[in-house]
Structure 1
């Protein structure tokens, strides 16, 4: 074999060896790492605090120590004499996934003039006559506690069921004009008026209900809640409806702030005692609600 042929054979062998080594190296290379699937972060608690005002109107019957009066007062009628212009309300909700715990507090001190009150019945056991009611002043606290659970969702629409309790506390003073000479018995005389004072009255109602939430857009929610309660445990019966709209308007240090506007109606029929010891509150309170909530 000539030197030229030998040189060509060596070049071919070297090329074949190089290509085979590259293939072997590729075969022995470790496989490329497979990216891990991101794991969902566990859901935690979020909290919402909502102070707001309830511009209340009242219609119904108030009975204090057996003396009854009809009430029909608008918000404007109430603020002309009331120590507070609105019923102050604070709501709190803690949510973790479908479960939410809630608390709601209302405190009012309301005065209603006689032009919005009329006597419904004479006082039992009174010798003589009493005139029409001149004013009604009462303090009231309402505390709600309970839980909601999301039982259904379709797109932006969510449906919750709820259960809890509503505690009521009231003190009422009903002022009556005196006409002629009367044996007032348990009434307190002040000038030409007799005042029936209820003292402290409280009761607890179990409550069940439902709520619908609709996310109209990111940060915008419509809600409607209804509940019933009492069932003879505390009051004979009570019901409540709240509808409203909340909208995010800013974030500060990780806290989202929202405005809340809506309307609330709350009715209760409660009575205890007989004769001069009878106390009754059978009325509906209703009006707009306005507030700001902080969510974190």
Structure 2
């Protein structure tokens, strides 16, 4: 539960920026059940069967990757001249989660490619402020679009269970990240409604490294650094995963478990002279899978 606060705006400032992947709310819990229902039987099937060799993918492939990110929030936020410390564990965030979507889609021919990564989270909660009931809704959307090129590839002995040569590969990445954060506070009996929204675009450069550890196991890391266009925007995104290859329903699938850290800093001043500053790190474990078509 939220500690006693001294005003509605204070409450909104300390609740903006929620991110999570599970909830007591049944509407938000279904992605967890869906992902686990695919991961657990798939891993069991892979362990019970010998390694499978399938024909390599066609020239162009589509990779679809739903995932769950159990992120906590740490940092500072400044709104209307007041600065607030943000320190929210994932367990607290999840208790207020209303809906969530997290996923990545990639198009590649193993030399060139592009990807789109989307994280959208809605939280909703009811709180008591000065003896009055208020509803607080927070929405956060982050969309990253990037392109990459296979700059370096070293072939390793053997092949993967997908019938492809094992390798070490390095891909430079260039892209842009769009972020939108909004919060609303409502009190129906008194007709009170307040809204705050911020959005910005942040270009980034980076690289991703992929190493085939064995016929089934793979390790991959993505690093993105943004904020080259202005001193008011800085960002860093680091993803690292351990992947396990399997063939499920005749589809090549990689089950992934790893860690993600996204740090964003954004500063702007509105027409009244008030400064909005968002300096937050979202970090935590990630579980997901990649299906290749």
Q: Check whether TM > 0.5.
A: yes
Shift of 1:191: 9.2
In 2: Cα distance, 1:191 partner to 1:66 partner: 29
For 2:256, the equivalent position in structure 1 comes to: 260
- Which residues of structure 1 form unaligned runs of 5+? 1-40, 115-129, 176-187
Aligned to 1:169: 180
Q: How many residues align?
A: 220
Change (3 A) 1:233 1:211: same
Contact 2:135 2:187 in 1 (8 A): no
CA distance in 2, matches of 1:138, 1:218: 44
Q: How do 1:180-191 and structure 2 match up within 5 A?
A: none
Which residue among 225, 229, 233 is the counterpart of 1:228?
225
**TM-score normalised by length of structure 2:** 0.66
Rounded to whole Å, the distance in 2 between the matches of 1:190 and 1:60 is 32
> For residues 56-108 of structure 1, what are the alpha-carbon distances to aligned partners after superposition, in whole Å with 9 as ceiling and x for unaligned?
10011223344432110110121123324xx5311011111311211100001
Partners of 2:240 and 2:125 in 1: how far apart?
27
How far apart in 1 are the matches of 2:237 and 2:95?
26
Encode CA deviations 1:1-47: one digit per residue, 9 max, x unaligned.
Answer: xxxxxxxxxxxxxxxxxxxxxxxxxxxxxxxxxxxxxxxx9961011
Partner residue, 2:266: 270
Q: Look up the match of 1:286.
A: 283
CA contact under 8 A between 1:167 and 1:205: conserved in structure 2?
yes
Task: Name which of 148, 169, 186 aligns with 1:158.
Answer: 169
User: CA, structure 1 residues 211+222, in 2 after alignment: closer, same or farther (shift >3 Å)?
Assistant: same
Look up the match of 2:147: 147
- 1:3-82 alignment, distance < 5 Å: 44-82=59-97
- Indicate the structure (1 or 2) with the bigger Cα radius of gyration: 1
Asked if the contact 2:202/2:233 (under 8 Å) is kept, the reply is no
2:122 pairs with 1:109: yes
Q: How far is the alpha carbon of 1:235 from its aligned partner? A: 4.7
Separation (CA, whole Å) in 2 of partners of 1:230 and 1:220: 34
SS at match of 1:97: coil
Mapped contact 2:203–2:229 kept (Cα < 8 A)? no
Give the equivalent residue in structure 2 for 1:24: none
CA distance change for structure 1 residues 166 and 148 in 2, over 3 Å: closer, same or farther?
same
Describe the shift of the 1:189–1:89 C-alpha distance in structure 2 as closer, same or farther (beyond 3 A). closer
